[in-house]
Structure 1
Amino acid sequence: MSTPFPLFDFLEEVSRQPGTTDITMVSDGRVAVRRNARIAVTRVEALGRLWAETMEVHFPSGRDGRRHGAARVIASGRRRYRATLAAHRGGSSLSVRPLRERPGSPDELRLPDGLAEFFLGLNGGLVLVAGPTGSGKSTTVASLLDARRDGVGGKFVTIEDPVEFVHSDDERTLFIQRELGTSVSDYAEGLEEALQMNPDVIAVQEIRERAAAETALSAALSGHLVIASMHAFTAPTVPQRCLSVIDPGLEDHGARDSLAACLEAIVFQRLLPGFDGLVPVFEVLYFRHRGERLASMERLVRQGNWVGLRQELAEGRRFGMIEWEENLRERISSGLLPAVP
């Protein structure tokens, strides 16, 4: 067998360049690198020539003879990457996302002012972090978990696919991190078992199936603090998106009542290309202010009035809510982003 392509050396060289967020390698030697939201495609002949040997070394076949499919974390030394090997017409491709060694503090990530303090002050309920793929949702969740470890402590159970950040314990904190495919079969099972582990906080990397969504609501209603991510395109549409996972027809009024009763905050985010790398822009809805539930927000979710949620967001600055346009203007005025034409 030929010597495999030096995959980790190549990934290290490419990912150390500022603004690199993902790298896609194709079996014919093409390589696409995304930096600051723009893709540049080149060809690496040695990669195409040694593709089979390289994938056999780094992605050995499973018991079923397959090596494609689920995301996994590959590592060399302290450098870790989230990688997904997928078959396609004419060959296969490897999609790689460099992972930070640590998520960074809320200040380092430029999370909205007051968000971490709000999260630390919660004793239960549901916090949803939403955005498109590659918007930094997992990093935001991990940062908030570390902030709560440092400020509050407790027992944390995470269900992830895969584990992207390894959280450290301290004298008053215990993290139990579970990974789909290795320690648990799916999110719903992981949530069911987490409820029996007496956690203070449950973190779910992504809600994408009915059983997981229903169990997350049940956990939040029973007094646990649950933080989860999901795909969505604006903060006010997140409750609708969550409910559509449970009931695509949005006719389950019981689910709507449950979500209204336990929802504490919605954080929507996207990464935009700035002058010095990618910059997060946020939209934040709160359902509690200074310890008191905001009855108007809860009522709108019970009614399924998503337009009303948008209106509340526009008028909710006094409660700490943040509109997308407002945060975008702040990022531009701070010199982080170019002016919108």
Structure 2
Amino acid sequence: MYTLDIISKILESVNGSNVTDIHLTAGTVPAVRIDGKLSYTTRFSMIRPDDIWNIIDQMLNDEHKKVLKEQNYLCVTVVLDNIGRVRANIFKQRGSYALNIKILDQRLKTPEELGIPQVVIDLHKKESGLILICGNKSSGKSTTVTSIIKKICTSRACQIITIEDPIQYLHKHDKAIVNQIEIGLDVNSFEEALNCAMTQDADVIMTSFAGSPEIFSALLSAAENGHLVIATLQTVDTISTIEYILSMFPAERREHVRVVLGNVLQAIISQKLLPAKDGSSYKLAAEVMLANQAMKNLIIENKIHQIPALIKASKALGMITMEDSVKELYRIGAIDESWLNM
């Protein structure tokens, strides 16, 4: 029967390659994702339902097991011996549990190593307003947010409250106090956590989920009231982000939401991770929209279609379109030519 140490054995079997995920499902052998591609580890035997539960039973504490049995789903970050922090996604399929393990970076890379533009890191200097970090799944959003939070933490005295499901990176107190709230462990919902954050003298509020009208309304209110709010959305560029936000609300509220958004917005950063030309890693491509007064006016006046042209015309201010970001990665030899026409 498989035990929890199967995770480290799987990693050893692929010689520590760039494994990002391990998939354990009854009825098949373990699978790993290396450099974005899924492959099977044929040296291991087929997994049985009892194997999955045995691994889960050794991985989770009693509180997490209780939540799992109530919901049949759990996403939680745990520390595994000889591996470090991993994010475990556990869910039911065909009557038995399946387990996906995401290997988290044990050392947070510097912004320079990550390829995060300096103008994005400089957003840590903002003391109020709304910063949105956007992109599809596995686009590096959490890493960018973590870099900004770390920079705030080391640069000024304030209280930071992060709201995450689950907590991915642990922040150390420095000049700032960092309180990290995990959904399902510390509170029951994002709404509850946001209400707490807004009454607990937080200077900076970060949330890993903003995709409901109730939550986004609370974030706008927090930004209006002088908090710096950092949130992530699964959208691909500035226009789709604004359109998605407005679509969450009924038609009669959209004008008000758009005006408030235009007033409080500081930046929208839209990201993609592209395979490096040498196949060793991924390179960050990012559209950077900084909400100066001209940009705010376009949003408030509902001239959203003009935003891409203004981004392109504002290169001297640090803004860049996704197209130009990809072209620059190709120019310096970081990515293959095929990504120019993506």
TM-score by length of 2: 0.89
Structure 1 or 2: more helix by fraction: 2
State the alpha-carbon separation in 2 of the partners of residues 308 and 259 from structure 1.
17
Identify which of 143, 155, 180 aligns with 1:151. 155
Aligned pair count reads 331
Distance 1:190 1:90, change over 3 A: closer
> What is the CA RMSD across the aligned residues, in angstroms?
2.3
2:51 is equivalent to residue 50 of structure 1: yes
Aligned to 2:262: 260
Residues 243, 250 of structure 1: 8 Å contact kept: no
**What fraction of aligned residue pairs are identical, expressed as a percent?**
24
- The 5-angstrom pairing of residues 1-341 of structure 1 reads 4=3, 6-10=5-9, 12-13=11-12, 17-43=16-42, 44-45=44-45, 47-48=47-48, 50-59=51-60, 61-62=65-66, 65-66=69-70, 68-77=72-81, 79-89=84-94, 91-117=96-122, 119-170=123-174, 172-245=175-248, 247=249, 249=251, 252-274=254-276, 275=278, 276-288=280-292, 294=293, 296-340=294-338
Q: Cα deviations across residues 266-310 of structure 1 (Å, max 9, x unaligned)?
A: 01111111122111111110013xxxxx2x211222233332112
Residues 129, 224 of structure 2: 8 Å contact kept: yes
Residues 36, 272 of structure 1: 8 Å contact kept: no
Distance 1:139 1:34, change over 3 A: same
TM-score by length of 1: 0.89
Please list every run of 5 or more consecutive structure 2 residues that lacks an aligned counterpart in the other structure: none
Distance 1:328 1:155, change over 3 A: same
State the alpha-carbon separation in 2 of the partners of residues 337 and 315 from structure 1.
25
Aligned to 1:291: none
State the alpha-carbon separation in 1 of the partners of residues 67 and 142 from structure 2.
30
Displacement after TM superposition at 1:32 (Å):
2.9
Residues 52, 97 of structure 2: 8 Å contact kept: no
Letter in 1 for 2:27: D
State the alpha-carbon separation in 2 of the partners of residues 280 and 9 from structure 1.
29
Distance 1:249 1:70, change over 3 A: farther
Letter in 2 for 1:54: I
Residues 5, 51 of structure 1: 8 Å contact kept: no
Letter in 1 for 2:133: V
State the alpha-carbon separation in 1 of the partners of residues 243 and 160 from structure 2.
28
Letter in 2 for 1:261: N
3-state SS of 2:237 partner: coil
Displacement after TM superposition at 1:102 (Å):
3.6
State the alpha-carbon separation in 2 of the partners of residues 304 and 70 from structure 1.
40
Distance 1:180 1:301, change over 3 A: same
Letter in 2 for 1:115: V
Residues 125, 220 of structure 1: 8 Å contact kept: yes
Displacement after TM superposition at 1:221 (Å):
0.7
Displacement after TM superposition at 1:199 (Å):
1.6
Please list every run of 5 or more consecutive structure 1 residues that lacks an aligned counterpart in the other structure: 289-293
Letter in 2 for 1:330: E
